[in-house]
Amino acid sequence: MFGFLKKVLASVAIVAYAVTFVQPKAGATDDAISFGVPYEYKTLNPLYMSGSDRIAVGTLVYSTLLGANPEGDLMPKVAAIVPSQQNGGISADGLTITYHLRHDVKWADGTALTSRDVVFTHEADMNPKNTVIETYGDKEIASIAAPDAYTVVVHLKRRFSPFIEYVNRPRLPAHLLDKYESLDKVDYNSHPIGSGPYQLGEWARGDHVTFVKSPTYWGRPAHVVKITLRTIPDANTLALQLRSHGIDAAVFVDPTQESTLAGDPQLRLTKTVIPSFGLIIYNASNQILSDVRVRRAFAMAFNRAQIVDKATQHFADAAHPERGLLGWGYDPSVKPVSFDQAGARKLLDEAGWAPGPDGIRARGAQKLELVLATNGGHPFIISEAEQIVQQAREVGFLLDLKSYVDQQMFLLTKDGILWGGKFDLALTQFNGGGDPDPDWLIGCDATGKPNPYNFSHMCIPKLAPVLQDAVSTFDRAQRKRDYTLVQRAIDEWLPVDLLYQSVFLGVVPKRLRNYVPSPYEFGAGYWNVTDWSY
């Protein structure tokens, strides 16, 4: 959900079932587990997925070159070693990266996974005939070659220190897909064959998708034979299903449900601080919000600490919100916008917005009225939104609160609320990543056009060279200095207003052993799925 790729194909013993299906029963056997997920899948090809759905499906069905443990350390997967300057995998100038692949990785149809698949996956992501939205990292590649079946050499256009971490998308099978000009509508998207620990067992669209243990997996065989991901968009319904054991587990549960679930003797609750953050996005394409004084007045109008504490029942950290985005690049000396309604009123006065008899401000005939879009089905987000509406009104803002299901909010087409720019203000939650580079959220490309996830549609003056300098060095101290400047620029220009760093509540059966959620990516509760057992 909330904000950062994987893919593969199937033609053999994987059969997709029709829409008629038997409702999966949670915990029916000791070798199965069912998870509730917030929205239904539109595809099982990670080329067209993003966020937590891509992390989940990518981890279960596909393989990546590298992985990461809960401490954030990169680990070898398909790549036999993690490239570094110390081991020669990264050249001294930082422009050439060499991957050496394992020789025992196979696709589910028995074909060997080779360097050809690594190259093909990059080409598929960059193919203009594939309607791929996220090319972050891949667009940094000047050329990629496979000198032999188990070596991949990447030449970068520029020094880009986050490359190793971010260009870690699931690999696609070239032998099944390279015959197509476009992958947009191929049958593979519904019937994938991967190289991961699980294969597709059943996909009942709109209800659930079930994955079964792969007999051809190259790594440690899974103990849990079947994993079902069941679509449950509403947080209250999800908690009810957990309490009634209609489902076994959920990677993310609304924090307002903690007290109702804590007393269940069959459930274990996990709390994980991750690089995820709540934020307000200001659509600077809106004439009203194009004025930074209005954006700042809005940010000063509400008491974020009080609102977040009440909405999340003390679950989120409103004192260090930018840490959720910047991770180790966060500078605690740079403080977020302070609650100051008197100061907000003064800024609005300066911007020409005068209070009317009903308290709502206006400039001429135009009222200070904006649409606040947010995620429905998440009680803590709705609570935040309702409190913000009330407190912003106290300084003269009139907000029309509109709630959307996650699927509408994050739909990666022009019909999506965020992607299509169908909002004035948006209150939501995003996932960052292990690397602090925030270019995806606030950066602009070389032509001055906002990046795909820059939903504010704002290019901050003079920020581009700072973002460039930060990723052109492997010197962490220099990068931290750059990200302090970035943090100050965010607070000055307010393309977004970061509200809190998330603490995620997960729920699994107590009898499930070795379940360890990762603090580095939302949805990465599956990172060590082959270690699980009952």
Give the angle 83-87-91 at the CA atoms, nearest 5°.
70
174 touches 149 (CB < 8 A): no
Average per-residue pLDDT for the chain:
89
Per DSSP bridges, beta strands 369-375 and 425-431 are parallel
310: CB partners within 8 A, 6+ apart: 383, 387
State the burial class of residue 365 (Cβ atoms within 10 Å of its Cβ: 0-12, 13-18, 19+).
Answer: exposed
Query: Cα separation of 493 and 490, whole Å?
Result: 5
Per-residue model confidence (pLDDT) at position 370: 98
Q: Is 504 helix (H, G, I), strand (E, B) or coil?
A: strand
DSSP notation for 167-231? S-PPP--HHHHTT-S--TT-GGGTS---SSSEEEEEEETTTEEEEEE-TT-SSSPPS--EEEEEE
Of 500, 534, 505, residue with least CA distance to 517? 505
Query: Cα separation of 244 and 27, whole Å?
Result: 12
Radius of gyration of the chain (CA): 23
User: Tens digits of per-residue pLDDT, 1-52?
Assistant: 333 322 222 222 222 222 222 334 444 456 899 999 987 888 999 999 877 7
Of 325, 365, 368, 360, residue with least CA distance to 483? 325
Residue linked to tokens 């009680």: 379
Query: Cα separation of 55 and 69, whole Å?
Result: 14
Query: Cα separation of 532 and 534, whole Å?
Result: 7
| Type of residue numbered 397 | F
Of 169, 154, 145, 160, residue with least CA distance to 78? 169
Per DSSP bridges, beta strands 226-231 and 32-37 are parallel
Domain ranges of the chain: 32-231, 274-503
Q: Is 471 helix (H, G, I), strand (E, B) or coil?
A: helix
Of 238, 220, 229, 524, residue with least CA distance to 377? 238
Q: Which long-range contacts (CB under 8 A, 24 or more apart) does 76-85 make?
A: 76/102, 77/219, 78/102, 78/105, 78/113, 78/118, 78/171, 78/195, 82/164, 83/164, 85/474
Its pTM stands at 0.79
Written as six digits, the tokens of 225 are 């034979």
| CATH class of the 32-231 domain in this structure | alpha beta
Query: Cα separation of 339 and 341, whole Å?
Result: 6
Query: Cα separation of 183 and 189, whole Å?
Result: 8
Q: Using H for helix, E for strand and C for coil, what is the string for 285-340?
A: CCCCCCCHHHHHHHHHCCCHHHHHHHHHCCCCECCCCCHHHHHHHCCCCCCCCCCC
361: CB partners within 8 A, 6+ apart: 348, 353, 354, 355, 367, 368, 395, 396, 397
Query: Cα separation of 99 and 90, whole Å?
Result: 9
Taking only the tens of pLDDT, the chain with its 534 residues reads 333 322 222 222 222 222 222 334 444 456 899 999 987 888 999 999 877 778 889 999 999 999 887 777 889 999 999 999 999 999 999 999 999 999 999 999 999 999 999 999 999 999 999 998 778 789 999 999 999 999 999 999 999 999 988 778 899 999 999 999 999 999 999 999 999 999 999 999 989 999 999 999 999 999 999 999 999 988 899 999 999 999 999 998 988 899 899 999 999 999 888 788 999 999 999 999 999 999 999 999 999 999 999 998 888 889 999 999 998 999 999 998 999 999 999 999 999 999 999 999 999 999 999 999 999 888 899 999 999 999 999 999 999 999 998 888 988 788 899 999 999 999 999 877 778 999 999 999 878 889 889 999 999 989 999 999 999 998 899 999 999 999 999 999 999 999 999 888 999 999 999 998 877 654 468 989 999 999
Per-residue model confidence (pLDDT) at position 29: 56
Of 312, 429, 417, residue with least CA distance to 371? 417
* CATH architecture label of 274-503: Roll (3.10)
Give the angle 461-414-231 at the CA atoms, nearest 5°.
115
Judged by phi (left if over 0) then psi (alpha if -120 to 50, else beta), residue 491 lies in alpha
| Type of residue numbered 399 | L
